[in-house]
Amino acid sequence: MLNISQLNKEFESRVRLGVMSVLMVNDWVDFNEMKKLLEVTDGNLASHSSALEKASYIEIKKEFVGKKPKTSYRVTNSGRQAFTEHINALEKLIGK
């Protein structure tokens, strides 16, 4: 029997769940592509990605391409493990 407390609170948000899902199957994803995929605002994506970075689940790379700033994301090893555990817990909860 699964206890609901085994779910990771960091992934409760639709946006964070989306960020992690995209990063689990892609290497680096840039800000604009992520924003488009998830259909969120700049501020919404920035705040959720910042929280995931603070939890060490994603890495954020900021660089300049020409004179334009470019922000990209990728999942960390601990993020990959935590998200996999979260998905496994969800599957147990729904009886998969």
Q: What is the CATH number of the domain that holds 56?
A: 1.10.10.10
| Residue 24 placed within a domain | yes
| Residue 43 placed within a domain | yes
On the question of pLDDT at 95 being above 90, the answer is: no
Q: How far is 40 from 13, CA to CA, in rounded Å?
A: 12
Domain count of the chain?
A: 1
The pTM is what? Answer: 0.91
- The 10s digit of each residue's pLDDT in 62-92 is 999 999 999 999 999 999 999 999 999 999 8
Q: Which whole number is the average pLDDT over 18-35?
A: 97
Beta bridge partners of 30: 72
Instruction: Say what the pLDDT of residue 51 is.
Output: 97
On the question of pLDDT at 1 being above 60, the answer is: no
Q: Is the dihedral of CA 85, 95, 1, 12 positive or negative?
A: positive
| Residue 39 placed within a domain | yes
HSE-CB for 41 with a 13 A CA cutoff: 3
On the question of pLDDT at 2 being above 90, the answer is: no
Question: Which residue range forms the structural domain that includes residue 38?
Answer: 11-93
